[in-house]
Amino acid sequence: MTRRIRTRIAPSPTGFLHLGTARTALFSWAFARHHGGDFILRIEDTDVARSTQEAVDQIIAAMNWLQLDYDEGPFYQMQRLDRYREVIAGMLAAGTAYHCYCTPAELDAMREAQRARGEKPRYDGTWRPEPGKVLPAVPPDVPPVVRFRNPVDGDVTWADMVKGPITISNRELDDLIICRPDGTPTYNFCVVVDDWDMQISHVIRGDDHVNNTPRQINILRALGAELPQYGHVPMILGPDGDKLSKRHGAVSVMQYEEAGFLPEAMVNYLARLGWSHGDEELFDRAQLVSWFDGQHMARSAAQWDAAKLGWVNAHYLRRLDDGALAQLVADQLARRGIAATADGRLQQMCALFKDRCATAAELADWLGMYYVPVSPTADDLSAHVTDAVRPALRSLRDRLASIDWDKGTIAAAIKEALSAHALKMPQLATALRVLVCGRAQTPSIDAVLSLFTREDVLRRLQAV
Ligand code: GLU
């Protein structure tokens, strides 16, 4: 009987959802969906000092935005402490874990002495029970830790879904502390109990966890648990080759939402960052799910490419219907303090400008001019609104006051002014752009003007 496919994402709520965690979540989600399995959200909040409810909320908001729907959870580790204690008690009884009464000072001295002898510092097994061994007398007043009795010989080997076979010698592994003197279980131990209880079949996570895996496998074996398969995904790197961090720009998923990116584009871009299906660059969620069988995750680290994300986003932006796009742009305008309704006019504006924009935010940067006064630069004014053009601007303004307000009639009025004043199109069009739009370049000026109100255009041409 094959095991039911169950994957999980297990973020620590110490901040926003990082792009790297989002990508791991996406892979775990897509893999579960591909196999008709389950995807689980688990909040690893045992670092009480750094975990916050606000971070939990942010993580869930980001998962929702990316539409990474989970079948179970969120489970909170802090609500499972009794269960961890129960498992620890069972291990103590079974002899797969033991109390260690070494004080921090003794452990420091132990490590010092090992270093002085040129050895790798490790726990020396003072309190590790062995057949026939007499343990030291239990000191009074030293609250013990609980250590896992790691096998001393042999290797731990697993077939990593991403990196291929990995083998670590047990000699490299210490007797891990699984419970602190104050009774709180430690990170690696909680992960093991959770993965066991939640019947996780595949653990896909960042390769910063590779060193934890042999320890977790040993504990799972000691518990008689079925092992999950592991896949360790390489880190995402910034353009300079360092691990992607705030230094490189936005690393929080929701910052991309704020910046006007589309969830479809993020999902597409993140999926391609460390996974491939032939040469496919643009694919939707359903295609991703149908292709994501756990193969073809990249062994080498992927580099964040903001330009490519922009290109992917532009693709999805263009496919959006104008009503939906107008709503996104209205939201972006609202963030800039500009009230705009996603009406037919805003939809026409979006249609006119979207080909030159990669995000809804860029569109809002363009379209703000339709709602609030513009301030042309002194340089643009002196370069383009010259004495040679002013008379034509004045006669055009007078004409615009009375014509029908549509693109074709505006275009005809502009042509009349050009021939009456013997000017070339770029001279008059650029002056109009600077005065009305506050910038020297726009799409076709008649189309751009037709989407302003007549009153706004006349007001902006008043002073010529
Ligand atoms: N809480 C860990 C992290 O945020 C994830 C651990 C895991 O996936 O096993 O990196």
pLDDT in tens, 163-204: 999 999 999 999 999 999 999 999 999 999 999 999 999 999
Q: Is the CB of 10 under 6 A from ligand 1?
A: yes
Architecture per CATH, domain 321-372, reads as Orthogonal Bundle (1.10)
With a 6 A CB cut-off, is 22 part of the ligand 1 pocket?
A: no
Instruction: Say what the pTM is.
Output: 0.92
Amino acid (one-letter) located at 372: V
- With a 6 Å cutoff on the Cβ, whether 59 touches ligand 1 is no
Torsion of CA 250, 251, 253, 255, to 10 degrees: -20
Cβ neighbors of 175 (< 8 A, separation 6 or more) are 100, 123, 125, 128, 147, 148, 149, 150
What percent of the chain is helix, strand and coil (3-state, nearest 5)?
50, 10, 40
CA distance 81 to 21: 25
Encoding tokens for residue 95? 């002899």
The minimum-distance atom of ligand 1 relative to the CA of 216 is 9
Cα–Cα distance between 224 and 59 in angstroms, integer? Answer: 33
Tell the residue nearest (CA) to atom 10 of ligand 1: 11
Mutate to test the pocket of ligand 1, among 23, 205, 229, 251 (most ligand atoms within 8 A of CB): 205
CB 64 within 8 A of CB 211: no
CB-CB neighbours of 386 under 10 Å: 11
Positive/negative CA dihedral, 224, 225, 229, 235: negative
Token output for 325: 């796009």
Domain boundaries, the chain: 321-372, 374-464
**Rounded (10°) CA dihedral 140, 144, 148, 152:** -40
- Token pair of 390 as six digits: 């002013």
pLDDT of residue 114: 95
13 lines ligand 1 (CB under 6 A): no
At residue 348's C-alpha, the angle toward residues 343 and 353, to 5°, is 125
- Per-10-residue mean pLDDT of the chain, 464 residues long, equals 92 95 98 98 94 96 98 97 98 98 95 94 95 95 96 97 98 95 95 98 97 98 98 95 91 94 98 96 98 96 96 96 95 96 97 95 97 97 97 98 97 97 97 98 97 98 92
pLDDT of residue 463: 86
DSSP 341-385: ---HHHHHHHHHHGGG-SSHHHHHHHHGGGTS-----HHHHHHHS
Q: Which atom of ligand 1 is nearest to the CA of 191?
A: 9
Three-state DSSP state, 442: coil
Closest CA to 283 of 297, 295, 267: 267
Ligand 1 touching residue 210 (CB < 6 A): no
What's the pLDDT tens digit per position in 110-167? 999 999 999 999 999 999 999 999 999 999 999 999 999 999 999 999 999 999 999 9
Tell me if 215 CB under 6 Å of ligand 1: no
Q: Do domains 321-372 and 374-464 have the same CATH topology?
A: no
Distance 204 CA to ligand 1 centre (A): 10
CATH architecture of 374-464: Orthogonal Bundle (1.10)
pLDDT confidence of residue 1: 61
Say how many Å lie between the CA of residue 11 and the centre of ligand 1: 6
Distance between CA atoms of residues 188 and 182, nearest Å: 17
212 CB near ligand 1 (under 6 Å): no
pLDDT of residue 110: 95
Burial of 375 (0-12, 13-18, 19+ CB in 10 A): exposed
Q: If you search the block for the tokens 């303090």, which residue do you land on?
A: 337
